[in-house]
Structure 1
């Protein structure tokens, strides 16, 4: 009866579909322009393109131009430039702006979520499982210290020094754990140190660090959904995440054989990449189904298929898909970050700025201390190893993005995490160059020794 009354009394509804499609298309234009301009500028400055994408997102987002805004940032569409364009060019009624704005935002955020799933699948493909299993005790110890120390110090500091609630404190502490292997490996390669003992320990530790970091993220994101920290629940989540990862890897050989068999027998376009994405999305679904994160599933899928015979070709084919979807995630993270909440001229913002400074210090000190884990290596450059673990890069942004979308992080805490990622990513390359320049170099020592022996 209520339905009949509503259908008779209400005016004919407006079809939102054309406005939603147009809004999404304009949003993608903004995102791709921002990502490409920001990435190019960053690359020409010798910095990671992802940093440029993030900063470009900040500029086009709620902090500045408001070309890309979202309801969770406090916008209702009235201050959205894209909504204004839809009203001006397509005649979107003012009464429908809020509804269309919400639906456009939902689609863009969904594409962003898909982008991060692809990103973690790509990271998994690039993570050499054999290297991970054979990095040696030093790399494992370095990685464990690099996860435990910043996580414990960050979480405890936020709770006891700043009186923060456990869930957001744990999430922020977890954001301090990951290391960007891409940024460090690039700098090591430029310095000619990629194959040095320090370089191998750093890379092995960074790969292990990524695995541990993704597990930590899956656990804290699950805690965020429940809203409470229960020791029993934490233990169950840890066991679930570890079992999921180990169980999947143990079945890896079987999956690889099946994947290669399917890819070999398919004769139409996408014979290599389509089965891979089917597997990645199925694993991502399974990760969600057992109350972990979808990204743990896609990352695990990447680790497994990294061992397949089609690995190199698959990596080549994943790149253009990642180029299309991953920038949506990074620009969106930047766009949702309101850096205005850290303006020191406004008294109420100063605590957030202090929290950001605290996170930066813990992020740097917690990783530099990992160099102490390189035991049994006389003359090893422990300073360089610690510095090489500093940059958070894309993995740190995954923490910020998921924390923000889950509603766990306040605006100020989310901005503090993003700034921590930016600062650690900025300072790591020059510091790594300095570390190798001022510290003893094993290769030069060995060369001097050989020269002395010959003379």
Structure 2
């Protein structure tokens, strides 16, 4: 499958110059994966030994091997070309790769890694959906909705107004930057919560539910501002379509769980060859991801919904065991790629063009953090809930913020200082959130058991590195598996 994808990518990206041989594309992809796995494992292990979530180490590892430092894993989206990639330079030195085909090879290799990265985050959200509990998510639905709405409205309004009044930014780019502040990275937040054993707590479920709703609202906001940037006017029909499609998709996915579970189990029990459980599950997850993308939502929302549906089946625990090694292979590609695409050179204030962006970045970072932290204090009807942890869990922008930035950059509405400011905001909120989440969830909270009526009977398992709580009907992986998962 991957070889076909590589061959297709190289032929698709070929221009008038001769396309590189598929074997060289395979070689470039394999070298990239070697770098990805080294960066993820070394970064994850060092982060784990420092008492921090492994995902933070994988992000930092990606930064080290990416455009900011070593230039081992670079992508065209960051403005790099084949001459910036040490992998391509190495292939030019050790093979018969010609300079004419080097750029095509670079494009094809980058495209394959990007596709594998997207596949990794889809599997990550599918896995998180399997670890979540639909009934518990519905139980916190109202609180999660309030958190999400405030988490979108406050940063958007404060960021847009502040850029216009304090920095004299015109309306359209200010609105776009404000929209980037609304994002929440469900992939990064959910993985950190899983690593520190807080995914199935009341706070974890509110964060997860709010992040899902936040993503839906963010996609709608993105569609509006992208339309505004391109045409100068908002396409009302498209906005209405997105609202209806998003609502219908999520409600339909929840309703599907009530009728699909028995049918899925019946089909699986009739299959006798290898992959009789995991292959049908992936088919369902990928179909749901496709349907989400087809209605202009994010594919990861479809994968998450698929996980929620299958979480209700009798095969959930067995399926979770089979998903873990697959996630161990693909999920690190996503986190290392996110880190590799972030350019920390924009932090250098010695460059005159960075100074204005640096000042704006400080403003955006403050708004980005405070605008999400206050959302936790909007939770109502819960006497004993860690509201600060809920707000902190909404902070990271991650890949969602990069999507906003990429679209804004493509439309040409963002100035270089403003684009640099948004990059800094995305980087710092992404890197600050994991250690902050570890800090705001006190260590002793991990030893507490849940009430039977709320989260089910819980137990505590001591691994070699940490204490990890889990629901009694949840598959618990050891710390090394968590580290490998990203």
Structure 1 residue 168 corresponds to structure 2 residue 168: no
What residue is the counterpart of 1:253 in the other structure?
Answer: 258
C-alpha change, 1:321 and 1:222, in structure 2 (3 Å) is farther
In 1, Cα distance between equivalents of 2:39 and 2:438: 24
Distance apart, 1:139 and its partner CA: 5.6
Q: For 1:9-88, what aligned pairs fall within 5 Å after superposition?
A: 13=18, 15-88=20-93
Q: Are residues 167 and 98 of structure 1, via their aligned partners in 2, closer, same or farther at CA, if it must alter by over 3 Å?
A: farther
Instruction: Return 254-263 or 227-236, whichever deviates more.
Output: 227-236
Cα 1:142–1:287 change in 2 (3 A) is closer
CA distance in structure 2 between the aligned counterparts of 1:14 and 1:237, rounded to whole angstroms: 39
TM-score, structure 1 length as denominator?
Answer: 0.81
Judging changes above 3 Å, is the alpha-carbon distance between structure 1 residues 310 and 150 closer, same or farther for their aligned structure 2 residues? farther
> Is this contact kept in 2: 1:146–1:177, CA < 8 A?
no
Assess if the C-alpha contact under 8 Å between 2:71 and 2:85 holds in 1: yes
* Residues 421-452 of structure 1: CA deviation (Å, up to 9, x unaligned): 2123333322444999xxxxxxxxxxxxxxxx
SS in 2 for 1:174: coil
CA distance in 2: counterparts of 1:374 and 1:147, whole angstroms: 15
Cα distance, 1:31–1:187 mapped onto 2, change above 3 Å? closer
Instruction: Report the CA distance shift for 1:146/1:392 in structure 2 as closer, same or farther (over 3 A).
Output: closer
The question of whether the paired residues in 2 share the 8 Å contact of 1:330 and 1:397 is answered with: no
- Residue of structure 2 in register with 1:103 after alignment: 108
Task: Give SS of 2:82's match.
Answer: coil
* CA distance in structure 2 between the partners assigned to 1:397 and 1:350 by the alignment: 23
- Specify every segment of 5 or more residues in structure 1 that has no aligned partner in the other structure, as ranges: 1-10, 437-455
* 8 Å Cα contact 2:60-2:339 kept in structure 1: yes
Aligned mates of 2:17, 2:83 — CA distance in 1 = 24
CA drift of 1:222 comes to 4.2
Native 8 Å contact 1:368 1:386 kept in 2:
yes
- The TM-score, its normalising length taken from structure 2, stands at 0.76
Q: Distance between the aligned counterparts of 1:208 and 1:133, measured in 2?
A: 8
Report which stretch shifted further, 299-308 or 147-156: 147-156
Question: Structure 2: how far apart are the matches of 1:129 and 1:46?
Answer: 30
Shift of 1:24: 0.6
1:6 matched residue in structure 2:
none
Deviates more, 1:63-72 or 1:404-413: 404-413
Structure 2 spans left out of the alignment, 5+ residues: 1-15, 446-486
* Greater Cα shift, 365-374 or 63-72: 365-374
Instruction: State whether structure 2 residue 213 is matched by structure 1 residue 204.
Output: no
Match of 2:439?
430
Kept in 2: contact 1:141–1:374 (CA 8 A): yes
Per-residue CA distance 1:211-259 (angstroms, 9 max, x = gap): 2123134334545765554444323312210111101211222222221
- Pair 1:270 & 2:275 matched: yes
| Aligned-residue offset at 1:354 | 2.9
Q: Which moved more, 1:350-359 or 1:179-188?
A: 179-188
Pair 1:362–1:127, CA change in 2 (3 A): farther
Residue in structure 2 matched with residue 402 of structure 1 by the alignment: 403
Q: What is the distance in 2 between the residues matched to 1:101 and 1:149? A: 41
Q: What do residues 121-173 of structure 1 show as CA deviations (whole Å, max 9, x unaligned)? A: 22222221100112375565445434443344345444554426156324412
Q: Distance in 1 between matches of 2:327 and 2:431?
A: 22
Distance across 1 between alignment mates of 2:444 and 2:281: 41
Q: Residues 136 and 47 (structure 1 numbering): CA distance in 2 closer, same or farther, change over 3 Å?
A: same
Match of 2:120 among 110, 115, 119: 115
Q: Secondary structure at the match of 1:389?
A: helix
In structure 2, the residue matched to 1:387 is 389
Distance 2:165 2:17 in 1: 56
Match status 1:298 vs 2:309: no
Q: Which runs of structure 2 are paired with 1:160-239 in the superposition (5 Å)?
A: 160-162=165-167, 163=169, 165=173, 168-176=176-184, 180-184=189-193, 187=196, 200=202, 202-223=203-224, 226=227, 227-228=229-230, 229-239=234-244
Count matched residues: 414
Moved over 6 A (4+): none
Q: Distance in 2 between matches of 1:182 and 1:109?
A: 20
Is 1:319 aligned to residue 327 of structure 2?
no
Q: Which has the larger radius of gyration?
A: 1
Give RMSD over aligned pairs: 3.0
More displaced 10-residue stretch of structure 1: 298-307 or 367-376: 367-376
- Aligned 8 A contact 1:367 1:387 in 2: no
8 Å CA contact retained: 1:356, 1:420: no
Greater CA drift, 155-164 or 281-290 = 155-164
Work out whether residues 147 and 209 of structure 1, in 8 Å CA contact, stay in contact via their aligned partners in 2: no
Contact 1:51 1:422 in 2 (8 A): yes
Q: Quick one: distance in 2 between partners of 1:168 and 1:12?
A: 37
